[in-house]
Structures are given as C-alpha cells and as structure tokens.
C-alpha cells in the first residue's frame, strides 16, 4: 500500500507538470510582440509614414548601397613596392626613393601623389595619366632632418605620410591637378605608403632594387627631356635649296670636270 501511495503521488506530480499549458509562453510572447508592433505602428502614423506589413524590410536602393559599401574597392593601379617607400637614411641630406605605378584597368587612369610634408618632400612626376597597361617609375625626394635630442628615426617616419589617389578619365587627355577637385566623389585612394629608412652602408635586396628603379627613372627622364631629332630635310637660304640636292649637284659637276680632263 505504501508503494501504491507513493506511485499515486508521483502520478499527481507528473500530471501537475503536464497540466501547465504549453501555449502559455507563446501567448506571453505574442502579446508582447503584438504590443510592440502596435506601438511601432502608432509611431509610424504619428511621423506621417504609412504602416507596412514587414517593418524590417529596406528599400532596394538602400540595400544595394550597403552591399556596395561592404565590397572591397577595386584598385586601378599596381604599385611596386606595394605599400612602402624606401629611403637611404642620411640625416641632413636629400634622399630619393622610387615606386613603379602601372595601370591595370581597361581605362585611362589619372594618378596623383599626396603628402603630409609638402615642404620637405616632392615627387617627380607629381601626377599623370596612364593608358591601359602603361607604367611609369616615379621618383620621390625627401629631406632627412637630423635627429633632435632623444628623437629616433621611427619618429620621423611617423610624421611623414604619402598617399596615391586615382581617377578614371575619358581617353587620352592632358593632366591637370584640378581633375581631382572637380570629380572628388570618383577619386579612389590606391594606397597609403609607409616610409622605411635603409642603411646605405649595408647592402640588402630592398636597397639594391631601389637603386635599379632610380636608374631606370633617371634614364626615362633624360629621354623625355631630350629634344626630338629633326627628321625633315634641311633647307638653306631663301631659295629653298635642299642640302641633299646640293650635294648631288656638286658630285655631278665634279665627275664632269674629271671627264673633261681625261679627254684632254
């Protein structure tokens, strides 16, 4: 009998647990959800907006804008070095660095250098327009200030920053810096370059590569500055006598004189 009594007590407890309606929590949540929905609709109506069936939905334009903002920016230029500018560390002197810029897009692209220290740094060229696939090696000049007190070279590197920006342009046109001001919303930041100082007394791969790039840049600058050779025939005097015709006439007369002497 004691066992039966215990069993009946257990059955009662089980039933008491099962007697709790399983939809009670759902009713509470649904009531709270309905109340929040009602409050949301009242707020929308007070603000002059029409209530919608799904308040979590966004306009397609806003969704596409958010999606585009999350995508990584497609670069138009390839840089070598990719994110650094190497300078020989020579305090009190003007040193040079070099960077290759190549247009990897299918359009003409304008590029421009920017720096936080325009008084002590400048670039050659400071900007330009590259055709698809075209590349150029730019030279960056920087004056290395002597260290003050307990200052370290790392502090100088942090003060100076370089940035390369790009802009897609239509066809082959003349470069003017004002392009980037007129179309500011279409300007893309290609890279922010960090300054790295190298010991000129110790050879390393980065320093050797820098010297090679500087040599190529200097040669290209000399070619651009060299005046174009004249390919047209030279004209002498006001009679428009061509030098080549004059030389042929002189050779013909010389042959005639030699022939006359032989006959005599």
> Is 35 contained in some domain?
no
> Is 46 contained in some domain?
no
Total domains present in the chain: 1
pLDDT at 70: 53
- Grade residue 82 by pLDDT with cuts at 50, 70 and 90: very high
What are the b/e assignments for 88-123, b being 16+ CB within 10 Å?
Answer: bbeeeeebbbbbbbbbebeebbbbbbbbebeeebbb
Q: Is the pLDDT of residue 72 over 50?
A: yes
Are 107 and 133 contacting, i.e. CB atoms less than 8 angstroms apart?
A: no
> Is 244 contained in some domain?
no
Average the pLDDT over each of 126-135, 168-177, 187-196 and give the range with the smallest value: 168-177
Which of 82, 69, 190, 195 lies closest to 140, judged by CA? 195
> Is 182 contained in some domain?
yes
Are 187 and 63 contacting, i.e. CB atoms less than 8 angstroms apart?
A: no
CATH number at residue 86: 2.60.40.10
Q: Is the pLDDT of residue 129 over 60?
A: yes
Which residues, at least 6 apart from 218, have a Cβ–Cβ distance to it below 8 Å? 139
> Is 157 contained in some domain?
yes
Q: Which two tokens stand for residue 169?
A: 């342009």
pLDDT tens for residues 140-180?
A: 999 998 887 777 777 777 788 899 999 999 987 899 999 99
> Is 24 contained in some domain?
no
- Grade residue 264 by pLDDT with cuts at 50, 70 and 90: very low
> Is 255 contained in some domain?
no
List the helix and strand counts (H, then E) for the chain.
7, 11
203 lies in which domain range?
77-225
> Is 130 contained in some domain?
yes
Which residues, at least 6 apart from 160, have a Cβ–Cβ distance to it below 8 Å? 115, 116, 117, 120, 121, 142, 195
Number of other CB atoms surrounding residue 148 within 10 Å = 8
Q: Which residue has the higher pLDDT, 252 or 27?
A: 252
């Amino acid at each position: 009998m004691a066992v039966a009594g215990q069993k009946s007590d257990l059955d009662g407890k089980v039933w008491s647990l099962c007697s709790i309606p399983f939809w009670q929590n759902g009713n509470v949540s649904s009531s709270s959800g309905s109340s929040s929905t009602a409050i949301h609709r009242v707020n929308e109506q007070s603000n002059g907006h029409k209530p919608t069936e799904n308040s979590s939905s966004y306009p397609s334009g806003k969704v596409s804008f958010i999606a585009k903002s999350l995508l990584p920016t497609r670069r138009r230029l390839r840089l070598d070095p990719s994110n650094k500018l190497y300078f020989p560390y020579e305090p009190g002197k003007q040193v040079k660095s070099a960077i290759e810029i190549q247009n990897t897009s299918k359009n003409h692209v304008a590029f421009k250098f920017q720096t936080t220290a325009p008084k002590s740094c400048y670039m050659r060229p400071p900007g330009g327009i590259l055709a698809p696939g075209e590349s150029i090696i730019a030279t960056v000049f920087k004056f290395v200030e002597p260290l003050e007190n307990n200052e370290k070279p790392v502090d100088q590197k942090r003060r100076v920053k370089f940035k390369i920006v790009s802009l897609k342009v239509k066809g082959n046109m003349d470069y003017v810096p004002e392009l980037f001001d007129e179309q500011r919303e279409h300007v893309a930041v290609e890279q922010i370059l960090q300054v790295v100082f190298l010991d000129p007394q110790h050879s390393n791969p980065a320093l050797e590569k820098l010297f090679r790039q500087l040599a190529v840049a200097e040669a290209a600058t000399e070619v651009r500055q060299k005046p174009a050779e004249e390919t047209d025939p030279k004209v002498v005097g006001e009679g428009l006598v061509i030098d080549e015709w004059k030389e042929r006439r002189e050779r013909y007369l010389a042959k005639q004189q030699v022939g006359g002497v032989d006959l005599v």
